[in-house]
Amino acid sequence: MNRTNFFQSEVVDGVKELDFLHNSLSEFTLKYPTTNYRVDATDLMRPDMISYKAYGNVYFWWIIMLVNSIDNPLTDMQTGQLLIIPSKLDIYDFQKKFRIRRSR
């Protein structure tokens, strides 16, 4: 699932651009039970590895960052920080709602 799928495309001066002001990412909701994950030293600057540990793939790292209000995973994560890990069911519901293709 690519984050750019959530942004509308606009044509400005003949160039197709993404409209970063209007997107559907704010529509992500937590309906199913979540789990928690405590960041350790090997996870710093590697949100993809957190996604791999939680889901078995590296594609949902940005959803974990979104839910935890982490804007910059390279500087905003700390050892010992407790992260909320959304259920895969919430992710799949979100994909269905916005007809987003899953990443491979």
Q: What is the mean pLDDT of each run of 10 residues along the chain (104 residues)?
A: 65 83 76 97 95 96 92 92 97 81 48
| Structural contact between residues 73 and 49, judged by C-beta atoms closer than 8 angstroms | no
Show the domain range for 52: 3-97
Report the predicted TM-score, pTM, of the whole model to 2 decimal places: 0.76
- Inside any domain, residue 103: no
User: Of 90, 91, 98, nearest to 32 (Cα)?
Assistant: 90
Q: Which helix (H) or strand (E) holds 89?
A: helix 88-97
Number of domain units in the chain: 1
- Inside any domain, residue 27: yes
